[in-house]
Amino acid sequence: MYNGKSIFIAGHAKLPQGMAAKSVFETLTITAEVDHKYGVILQASCTLATEHGRDFIGMLIRGCSLRDGIEEPIQLVQKHYRGKAQHALVAALRDLQTQYEGLDE
């Protein structure tokens, strides 16, 4: 049951040509459930084509705090994800951060 202590946000970016997910989605989306008080990513997913890829990205950025900025998750993606969507993932993370920062407005 939902406890009211988290928020759900999404970041979007264009996918590069030649990706399997491009035939299904025009954009790559990263969604995240974030602890409202501390900004910690509790759970995340994305629209990569394979379940393994989606799970890997979720596991990779889980536990990062958006309050601390987006550099840590970006560095994790750049270091550990070597697929064609790396730049789109980074752009979607930046957009996710923008959406998080917009909550205080």
CA distances for 20 relative to 32, 47, 58, angstroms: 22, 11, 19
Q: State residue 20's pLDDT score.
A: 54
Who wins on pLDDT, 22 or 16?
A: 16
Is residue 96 domain-resident?
yes
How many other C-beta atoms can be found within 10 angstroms of the C-beta atom of residue 80? Answer: 12
Per the structure, the count of domains in the chain is: 1
Mean per-residue pLDDT for 2-20? 82
Per-residue confidence band for 96, with pLDDT thresholds at 50, 70 and 90? very high
The per-residue b/e assignment along 41-52, b for 16 or more CB within 10 angstroms, e otherwise, is beebbbbbbeee
Name the E strands within the chain. 6-14, 27-35, 41-46
Per-residue confidence band for 19, with pLDDT thresholds at 50, 70 and 90? low
Please give the share of the chain, as a percent, with pLDDT higher than 70: 88
Is residue 76 domain-resident?
yes
CATH number of the domain where residue 17 is located = 3.90.1010.10
Is residue 1 domain-resident?
no
CA distances for 76 relative to 4, 28, 55, angstroms: 29, 18, 14
Range of the domain at 73: 6-104
pLDDT digits (tens, 9 = 90+) for 20-35: 545 455 788 999 999 9
Whether pTM exceeds 0.85: yes
d(CA 19, CA 28): 11
